[in-house]
Amino acid sequence: MRSTTTLIIALIALAAVQIASAQDETDVRDTRIALIARTAPDSIVLRWGPSTALGWSNANTQGYVVERARLTSNGTIDDDGFVMLTSEPLRPWTLETFRQRVTERSPFAAVAAQMLYGKSSGVSDPSDEIGSMRDAANVFQNRFGIALFAADNDAMAAEGLGLRFVDRTVKSGDEYVYRVRVAPAVAIDSVSARFDTAAVYAQAMASEPAPAPFDAKALGRDRYIEVSWGRELGRNYSGFYIQRSDDD
């Protein structure tokens, strides 16, 4: 009899890049948007994420504008220019929408909902005003990081967080430039984030498969097995599944 046990090792890829880059910002309000594309002959998947917790919070309210321009045969943008692909900016799902769509098969989407709408834990010492502010800031930063982590590991979580869009109106072989920007705020104050615009090139064609893990090793230790593989794959994956086969 053969059975398979699947273990999930979740490694933060895009989330880690965003959080790390946030620490290099000269102003906490300055937020970059990272954008990547995954192509197929009949569709192009876009995934993006903000670089700061403040930007994430602001963008959840303002929404993301997704635009596309088709490239001509000589590499210039056609006469139609950039066209908005949704009728309104993309925002996270409501809590009710999460409740309708999330199942036991989508645990990361449930995590995403918790980061958006869950109650924060209490501060360590409510009488310590400075400590309470620090605790609240840490909780806010943790919510941001975990939300991006969930989006990296599940398409439904990314869509629910307003960080994913699938363009199904492409023509096979055509080349496009996509832009993602945050919609303007109704009111701007001293704590409003300042955003850039992300852009990515994509051609409607089959994507090259991601490289397989290499240099995999399994070493027997005292009462456990140590599994390792090459580190160079980090930017191609958001996580790895490790499968173990038990033969009777």
Query: What's the pTM value of the predicted model, to 2 decimals?
Result: 0.79
Residue 139 corresponds to which tokens in the numbers above?
């909780």
**Helices 107-117/129-153 angle, 10° precision:** 150
Q: What is the pLDDT of residue 192?
A: 81
Q: What is the mean pLDDT of residues 212-219?
A: 84
pLDDT in tens, 8-23: 333 334 444 444 444 4
Q: What is the mean pLDDT of residues 200-225?
A: 89
Average pLDDT across the chain, whole number: 84
Which residues lie across from 201 on neighbouring strands?
177
Nearest CA-CA partner of 161 in 87, 95, 227, 213: 95
Q: What is the pLDDT of residue 159?
A: 98
Of the pLDDT bands very low, low, confident and very high (cuts 50, 70, 90), residue 126 is low
d(CA 52, CA 225): 38
**pLDDT at 25 exceeding the cut of 50:** no
d(CA 64, CA 197): 10
Choose from 6-10, 18-22, 180-184, 185-189 the range with maximum mean pLDDT: 180-184
pLDDT in tens, 157-171: 999 999 999 999 999
**pLDDT at 233 exceeding the cut of 70:** no
**pLDDT at 123 exceeding the cut of 60:** no
pLDDT in tens, 29-66: 799 999 999 999 999 999 999 999 999 999 999 999 99
Of the pLDDT bands very low, low, confident and very high (cuts 50, 70, 90), residue 122 is low
Considering only 65-69, 213-217, 232-236, which range has the smallest mean pLDDT?
Answer: 232-236
Q: What is the pLDDT of residue 1?
A: 38
Of residues 213 and 194, more confidence is placed in 194
d(CA 161, CA 209): 26
**pLDDT at 67 exceeding the cut of 90:** yes
Nearest CA-CA partner of 193 in 61, 36, 84, 92: 61
